Structure 1
Amino acid sequence: MSKNYRKTAEEIVRYIGGKENVVQAAHCVTRLRIVLKNEGKVDVENLRTVDLVKGAFSNAGVFQVVIGPGDVERVYKELIQLTGVEVSTVADVKETGSKKLNPLQQLVKVFSDVFMPILPAIIVAGLLMGVNNLLGAKGLFIKDATLLEAYPNLKGLWELINMMANTSFVFLPALVGWSATKRFGGSEILGIVLGLLLVHPDLMNAWGYGQAAAGIDGAKLQYFDIFGLQIEKVGYQGQILPILAAAYVLSNIEIWLRKRVPNAIQLLIVPITSIVITGALALGIIGPVTRYIGTLITEGLIYVFDLAPVVGALLFGALYAPLVITGMHHMFIAVDLQLIAQKGGTFIWPMIALSNIAQGSAALAMFWVAKKQNEKNMASTSAVSAYFGITEPAMFGVNLLHKFPFYAAITGSAIAAVIITLNGVLAPGIGVGGLPAFISIIPQYIPMFLVGMVVAVAVPIILTVILSKRFLKKS
C-alpha cells in the first residue's frame, strides 16, 4: 500500500493549528520537531489518528510528532512546502524552543546537542569492540580456548578490528571537541585540535598515570616546567568533562577575540591565541579539576549501586523510559563514557538496552491483542524498530497511547535491570540498544545478559496480554 505523504502533512498542519501557527520545523531520525506560536491550538486527539503519525507530545518548548525512520523525511519535505517555513536543523529548532527551558533542561539540551552528532561513531566502536571481545573470549565458542587460539589465522583480523574499535574511544576528545565547539559557537577545527592536544602521544595515558600515581615499577609523573609553574604531562583519553569544559572556554575566547580583532589579522591572531590560552588552561587547570569531578561522579554512582543494587536497578529500569519522554536520557551517554574510561566498562548501558527491548516487547504484545488493523500495523512496525534501539514509535504510538503496555514494559525493564545488576553485567562500549546488544557485552557476562533479555521480552508480553483483557477497549 502506497503512502500519501502529502495528505499526511496536510492533516498534520491542520491539527497543529494551521500553517499560521508554525514558527519553525525540523526533523530527527523519527520525529518532526515543530516550534508553534500557540500549542493550545493543537488537536492532539485527531492528530494521533493521522496516517503514519505514531504519537505527539510537547517537550522543552518544541512540539514533536513521531513518524518513524524514513517516512519522517518525506513528510517533513511536504510540511515545509505547505507551511512556507524555511528548512531548519534540529539545533535551530531547539535554540528557538530553549527560550522556554529551565536551567536543568538547558543542561540536558547541551548534552543532547553535543553527543547526538557523534553517537554513530560511538555505537560503531561499541559494536566492533563487542565483535573483538567475542573473538578473544576463552571458552565461549570452544572449550578452554579462544577462537584466536584455535584459528591463529584470525589474529590479523582481530588486530584490525581492535584498532577500528579503539579509534573512537582513543580520540574521543577530538570528536567531542568538534561537536562541542560547534554547539558553543566556536570553530569546529579548533575544537578538533584541542581534543587531539588532550590525547597527544607525548602525554601520559590513563594507565601510565595510574601507575605513576601509585609508584608502580618506579613510574613517575612528568611535568612541563613553565617559568617555575609545573603542569602534569597527562592525557585525557576517553574523558568527557575535560574537553567539554575546555571547548566551552575555547569557544568563548574565540568569540570574544573575533569581536575585537580587525578582520585583516583575525586569521593570524584568533586561532593561535585561542588554542595557546585554552591549551594551557586545559592541561594546567581544567583537565585536573574536571578529571577529579568525573572521578567523584563515577565513584558516587558505583557506590550507590553497590550500596543498594536492587533499589538502584529497579529505579533505573523503571524510570529510563519516562526519561526518554523528557529527553533527559541523553545525559547517560556521558555517564557511560566516563564509566568506560575509568572502570573499563559500564553497567548503565546494558540496562538501557533492556529497557528498549521491553518497550518493543510490549508493542509486540499489542500486535496480538489489538482489535483494529491500523493499531496492529503500528504495533508490529514499532516493535521491530524498538528491538533495534529506536523506541519512540513504540512508546508514543502504541504503549503510551494505551498506557497499560507502557506500565508492563517498565515493569519488565526494572526486573531485568535487577537481574543483570546483581550479576555485575558490564559493557565495554555502547552498541545498538536492542536485541543485538548482547554483542557489545563483555563475553563473560553474556549468559546473564541473555537471561535479562528473556525477562525483558517475556514479562512485558505476558503483562500486556493479561492487562489487555481488562483495559483494552472493545472495537
Structure 2
Amino acid sequence: MMDLKKSAAEILEALGGKENIQAATHCVTRLRLALVDEGIIDQEKLNNIDVVKGSFSTNGQFQVVIGQGTVDKVYKEFAPLAGISEETTKEDVKEASAEKMNPLQRAIKTLADIFIPILPAIVTAGLLLGINNILTATGIFWDDQSIIDVYPQWSDFANMIIIIANTAFVFLPGLIGWSAVKKFGGSPILGIVIGLVLVHPDLLNAWGYGEAVQNDSVPTWNLFGLTIEKIGYQGQVLPVLAASYLLTKIELFLRKHIPDNIQLLFVGPISLLVTGFLTFIIIGPVTFQIGNWITEGLVATFDTFAWLGGLIYGGLYGVLVITGMHHTFLAVDIQLVGSTGTTFLWPMLALSNIAQGSAAFAIWLASKDDKLKGLGLSTGISAWLGITEPALFGVNLRFKYPFIFAIASSAIAGLYISSQGVVASSIGVGGVPGIFSIVAEYWVDFMIGMAIVIVLPLLGTYLYARRKRDV
C-alpha cells in the first residue's frame, strides 16, 4: 500500500516547496498546478516518485500525471502540505496560469475551455452514429445489403439511435452557446437560448440554403425596408461563438447599470433581442460565409493534395498536443461535420493517438525497470483509448525516440488514409475504438492505417531501445 502522504510531500519538495505553489487543483488523472517558477523543479526527483507517472508544462500550467482514482487521494494530502485550500477551483489555477500566456496561447485556451466541456456529448454522439453505421451500411456483412435490409425488425431500432445520436449535432449551437457564454462570464442559460434561436425550426435549415439560393426561394424578413435572410445556422461554429461573446458583453453591461430589483425584467430580454437582431442582420451572414470559406479551403486543399495534407497533419498532430494547439482543430472538425457531414481530419487524430500508445507499449516490452514497464503498459492502454498525454509526457518525450517513431508512423498512416479519402461521420473516441466512427466503406483503409501505427512505432521503438539500452 502506497504512503500517499509521503508521496504528496515528495512531490511538493520536488516542485520547489510550498512557496513555489500559486494554486493547485486536479482533474481525472493529473495534478494541475500554477507555479511561481517552473525552473526550480527537480525533474529527476519528481520522476522517481512511485506515484508519479509523468509530468509536463502546457499553457502556463505544470501538470503531474498520477492516474485515475489515485490523483484525488494524493491531492487531499498535497493541499494542506502546500498551504492551499482543497476547495481551490480549476478557475483559480487557470487565472494564475493565464498571467504567463501570450495572446495566441490565451486564444487557444479560450477555444479549449469552450469546446472541451461539450466534448462528451459530441463523442457520445459519434459512438452512437458508429453503431448506426454498423446497422445501416452496406458492404460490411453482405456486399449489397445492410443488417436492417436483411433483418427489417431492427430498422426502427436504428432509426431511434440516429435520432438520439444526431441531437448533439442538430442542436450544436445550443451546446456551444451554453459553454461559450459560461466561459465569457455571462449566464449560461441565455447562451443556450441564443444557440437554439439560431436553429429554430421556423428558419430555413442551413443544409438547404444552397438549394434555396439556386431556386431563388430563400425566405426573408422585411424590417422597415431592410431585407434579411431568414436562415438557420445548423452545424455552424463561428456564428454562435460571435453571438455568445456579444450576448455576454451586453448582459454584463446591463447588469452593471440596471438596479438589481428590475434586472429580471430588462437584462435577459434586451440582451437576447439585441444579440438576436445583430446576429441575423450582420454577425450570422458574415461568420457563416467565413466558416464556409474555411471549410471549402480545407476540402479543396485535401482534394488536390490529399497525400501531402495527410503527411503533414498526421505527423504534426502529436506536436500540436504538446503545445495545446490541437484544441483549435476540434472546432474545425465540428465545423466540417456540420457543413459536409464528415471530417477527414479526425481519422488522422485517432491514428496519431494509437501511434503514441504503440510507442509506449514498446518501452513496456523493452524495459527492465518495473516502474517503467508499468508506466509503458498503463499509458499505452490510455493512448489507445484516446488519452495520449500520459504516454506522451510520461514515456515518449522522456526518451525522445519513441515520440519520433510515433509521429513518423502517424505521418505515413495519415498520408495513406488521406490518399484513400478516408472520412469519419463524426468525432468519436480518438483511439482504437475510433473505427466505429469511420464511414463503413473506408473501414479496410482505416484498418491498414491502424496496422501502420501499431506495427511501425512498436517495432521501431523496441529495436532502438534494445540497441540503446537506456530503458
Please classify the TM superposition score into its range, dividing by the shorter chain length: over 0.9
Q: Does 1:242 align with 2:277?
A: no
Match of residue 303 from structure 1: 300
In the alignment, the residues of structure 1 paired with residue 150 and residue 285 of structure 2 have an alpha-carbon distance, to the nearest angstrom, of 45
- Return the alpha-carbon distance in structure 1 between the equivalents of residues 81 and 289 of structure 2: 52
Aligned equivalents of 2:280, 2:29: Cα separation in 1: 40
> Map of 1:418-429 to 2, 5 A cutoff?
418-429=415-426
Shift of 1:299: 1.6
Q: What CA distance in whole angstroms lies between the structure 1 residues aligned with 2:186 and 2:451? A: 47
Give the aligned partner of residue 147 of structure 2. Answer: 147
2:194 is aligned to 194
Return the offset for 1:322.
1.4
Equivalent-residue separation in structure 1 for 2:66 and 2:226 (angstroms)? 57
The equivalent position to 1:356 in structure 2, one of 333, 353, 356, is: 353
Q: CA deviation at 1:312?
A: 1.7
Q: Unaligned 5+ residue runs, structure 1?
A: none
TM-score by length of 2: 0.97
Q: What is the CA deviation profile of residues 235-281 of structure 1, one whole-angstrom value per residue up to 9, with x for unaligned ones? A: 11111111011000000111111111111111111111000000111
Retained in 1: the 8 A contact 2:31–2:75?
Answer: yes
Which structure 2 residue ranges, 5 or more long, are not aligned? none
Report the count of equivalent residues: 470
SS of aligned partner of 2:64: strand
Which shifted more, 165-174 or 224-233? Answer: 224-233
Paired amino acid for 1:280: F
- The residue number in structure 1 matching 2:68 is 69
The answer for the alignment partner of 2:334 in structure 1 is 337
Structure 2 SS opposite 1:144: coil
1:290 match: secondary structure: helix
Question: Offset of 1:138 from its aligned partner?
Answer: 0.9
Question: Which one-letter code corresponds to 1:323 in the other structure?
Answer: L
Q: Secondary structure at the match of 1:64?
A: strand
- Whether 1:21 and 2:24 are equivalent positions in the alignment is no
Query: Whole-Å Cα distance in 2 between the matches of residues 42 and 176 of structure 1?
Result: 38
Matches within 5 A, 1:109-120: 109-120=109-120
Which stretch shows the higher mean deviation, 172-181 or 23-32? 23-32
Percent identical among aligned pairs is 52
Separation in 1 of the partners of 2:80 and 2:156?
A: 53
Q: CA deviation at 1:325?
A: 1.2
Asked if 2 retains the 8 angstrom alpha-carbon contact of 1:30 and 1:392, the reply is no
Partner of 2:407: 410
- Kindly indicate whether residue 258 of structure 2 is the aligned counterpart of residue 275 of structure 1: no
User: Where in structure 2 are the equivalents of 1:174-189 lying within 5 Å?
Assistant: 174-189=174-189
- Aligned partner of 1:169 in structure 2 is 169
User: Secondary structure of 2:31's partner?
Assistant: strand
Q: CA deviation at 1:125?
A: 0.4
Distance 2:299 2:357 in 1: 29
**Is the 1:408–1:464 contact (alpha carbons within 8 Å) kept by the matching residues of 2?**
yes
Question: Distance between the aligned counterparts of 2:209 and 2:387, measured in 1?
Answer: 39
Post-superposition Cα deviations, 1:364-396, rounded to whole Å, max 9, x if no partner, equal: 111110121111011111111111001111111
Report the Cα distance in structure 2 between the residues aligned to 1:339 and 1:194, rounded to whole angstroms. Answer: 22
Three-state SS of the structure 2 residue aligned to 1:33 is: strand
**Matched position secondary structure for 1:132:** helix
State the SS of the aligned residue for 1:225.
Answer: strand
Greater displacement, 249-258 / 66-75: 66-75
The Cα shift of 1:450 comes to 0.7
2:431 is matched with 434
Moved over 6 A (4+): none
Read off the aligned partner of 1:50 and give its amino acid letter. I
Q: Over residues 417-470 of structure 1, what are the superposed CA-to-partner deviations in whole Å (9 max), with x where a residue is unaligned? A: 111000000011110011111001011111100110011100101111221133
> SS of 1:118's equivalent?
helix
Q: Deviations over 1:129-152 (max 9, x none)?
A: 111111111121123211001111
Query: SS of 1:270's equivalent?
Result: helix
Give TM-score, length-normalised by structure 1. 0.96
- Paired with 2:39 and 2:458, the residues of 1 have a C-alpha distance of 36
Cα distance, 1:238–1:77 mapped onto 2, change above 3 Å: farther
Which residue of structure 2 aligns with residue 211 of structure 1?
Answer: 211
Q: State the Cα distance separating 1:472 from its structure 2 match.
A: 3.1
Q: Tell me the alpha carbon deviations over residues 144-174 of structure 1, each in whole angstroms, 9 at most, x when there is no partner.
A: 2110011111011101100111010011100
What is the CA deviation profile of residues 274-304 of structure 1, one whole-angstrom value per residue up to 9, with x for unaligned ones?
0000011111111111111111111222232
Distance in 1 (alpha carbons) for counterparts of 2:207 and 2:37? 54
Is 1:45 the equivalent of 2:44? yes
Q: CA-to-partner distance for each residue in 1:339-358, whole Å, 9 max, x for gaps?
A: 11111100111000000000
CA distance in 1, matches of 2:440, 2:167: 21
Q: Does 1:96 align with 2:96?
A: yes
The structural deviation recorded for 1:50 is 1.2
- Contact 2:207–2:234 (CA<8 Å) still a contact in 1? no
